[in-house]
Amino acid sequence: MIDTQTPNSPGWWFERLFKRLIERQGHFDRLDSYYRGTNPIPVHANRQVSDSYQRLMSVSGANFARLIVEATRERMTPLGFRTGAVADELGDEVAWRIWQANSLDADHMLIDRATLAMGAAYAIVGGVDEEIGAPLITPEDPREVICEVDPARRRKVRAALKVFTDDVFGLERAYVYLPGFVIRASRRSTNAVGQSQNMDGWEWDGDPDPLPAPVVPVVPFFNLVGINGEPEGEFEGHLPTLDRINYTILSRVEAMTMQAYRQRGIKGLPLHDADGEEIDYEGDFLAGPGELWQLPETAEIWESGLIDLNPILQSEKQDIVTLAGATSTPMSYLFPDDAGGSAEGAQLKRESVTFKARDRMRQQGESYEQLMSLALLFAGETERAARGDMEIIWESPERYTLAERADAAAKLNDIVPVTTIARDVLQYSPQEISRMNAERLAQALTDTAANAV
């Protein structure tokens, strides 16, 4: 049995965090559905939704939430880390080797994407993995991981929990992380209603396992976190606008469908002949290019009129413009054929998304620095793991053409050191700069040898 009554015991923390994890899953599921474009389109509650109408709904969604996230995420690229052990502006090679061994040059996008879309993500640091030769770092879904932070230091984790379903063995598994150790639990997975929301059936799987250091190896990544500690997804405050855009698109598709199958009728058509017998018109009004209808003089054909779609289109575009401005997303992302505006206006839009990306990078950077500090600590690199000396190196979120960068480099050549120009102006990565320095040195030795001959 798991003791959940003793304060600060592993079971007490397990129950406390497990309840909070369950409570917030619906919130994260909703935001994730918007990012993936599977969110429902709001319709009138009293409408009987037929199969044909459901088909219209299935083709009427526009996934702007993903564009809002990706417009920022694609500008967030870590290039390296500086530590207290290496006074090298190009970054610490040991830290970068751990980063590369965990494939985080690609998989960091999983963390950034979840953080921006759902407002939270996590990463867990494990011991040294023999296969990769470095501490194992895993990106984690906020629907499976939760932590509690110190009220005085919101980036210091006091306890953490990971819960997931092991489909292979038919089990629910839980890892409870406390300073210096992790303890595992499991229970048989069932489909019983409410079973996953309570603590029934959980049992510890053996004794606690010690960690390489007396810390909790779980790092939270929060987006737009408020002073109350609650994070927010990048588009979370704009869900009504996203719903309105999709509803407008659905209305437009409805109108187009009705116009494709316009209602037709015949007014003044006699229903009975001169003898009072009912006239059977079946087969007389067939549609086809070779069909000819013969109508009485009193009959008049009626057809429903065309609907002007321009007001609907303009309403849709205006909502997209509003969304772009509210989320600091370039209009070209949400409306690719938009070419309006002045050059000055385009520059302001570019500055807006750049400022936004820099702000998100500062938030993510603190968590990445904490993550790398833990990884170096678990690797035995205590000097490099000093948190106060850790600094992440980001690629610039500003995007310039090669011609613009080369022109700026030429103008600064006599003022700024070569390495600084290569890094900050030409925007080469630390690894590229190191290779160029090696090539420059090799070329200098070659030239010296040639001149000596």
Contacts of 198-202 with C-beta under 8 Å, sequence gap 24+, read 199/2, 199/4, 199/14, 199/15, 199/18, 202/2, 202/14, 202/174
pLDDT band at 148 (very low <50, low <70, confident <90, very high): very high
pLDDT at position 186: 95
The domain total for the chain is 2
Question: Which residue in 383, 378, 384, 369 sits closest to 126, CA to CA?
Answer: 378
Domain span including residue 203: 10-37+84-235
What average pLDDT does the chain have? 85
Summarised one tens digit per residue, pLDDT across range 252-263 is 887 777 776 677
Q: Is the pLDDT of residue 88 over 70?
A: no
Question: Which residue in 306, 117, 326, 125 sits closest to 223, CA to CA?
Answer: 117
pLDDT at position 331: 73
The Cα 414–Cα 296 span in angstroms is 94
Q: At a CB cut-off of 8 Å and minimum separation 6, what does 452 contact?
A: none
In a domain, 279, yes or no: no
In a domain, 198, yes or no: yes
Summarised one tens digit per residue, pLDDT across range 120-137 is 999 999 999 999 999 999
How much of the chain, in percent, has pLDDT values that exceed 90?
Answer: 44
In a domain, 433, yes or no: yes
In a domain, 392, yes or no: no
Q: Which residue has the tokens 């007396």?
A: 214
Q: Is the pLDDT of residue 193 over 50?
A: no
In a domain, 336, yes or no: no
With beta carbons less than 8 A apart as the criterion, state whether 294 and 266 touch.
Answer: no
For 73, 223, 329, the CA distances from 353, given in Å and listed in that order, are 11, 16, 6
What's the rounded mean pLDDT across residues 57-82? 88
Q: Is the pLDDT of residue 117 over 90?
A: yes
In a domain, 256, yes or no: no
Q: Give the range among 107-121, 196-210, 244-258 with minimum mean pLDDT.
A: 244-258
Kind and range of the H or E run holding 44? none
Cβ–Cβ contacts within 10 Å for residue 30, how many?
14
What's the rounded mean pLDDT across residues 426-436? 77
Identify the domain boundary among 206, 235, 264.
235
pLDDT at position 254: 78
**Token output for 109:** 């996008």
With beta carbons less than 8 A apart as the criterion, state whether 149 and 158 touch.
Answer: yes
pLDDT at position 375: 96
- Between these two residues, 398 and 180, which has the higher pLDDT value? 180
Identify the domain boundary among 217, 235, 253.
235
pLDDT band at 34 (very low <50, low <70, confident <90, very high): very high
The Cα 86–Cα 94 span in angstroms is 10
Sign for the CA dihedral angle at 189, 195, 201, 203 comes to positive
With beta carbons less than 8 A apart as the criterion, state whether 6 and 16 touch.
Answer: no
* Residue 307 Ramachandran class (φ > 0 left, ψ -120 to 50 alpha, else beta): beta
What is the C-alpha radius of gyration for the chain, rounded to an integer number of angstroms?
31
pLDDT band at 179 (very low <50, low <70, confident <90, very high): very high
Tell me how long the chain is: 453
In a domain, 292, yes or no: no
Identify the domain boundary among 211, 235, 259.
235
In a domain, 174, yes or no: yes
Q: Give the range among 103-112, 128-137, 182-191 with minimum mean pLDDT.
A: 182-191
pLDDT band at 452 (very low <50, low <70, confident <90, very high): confident
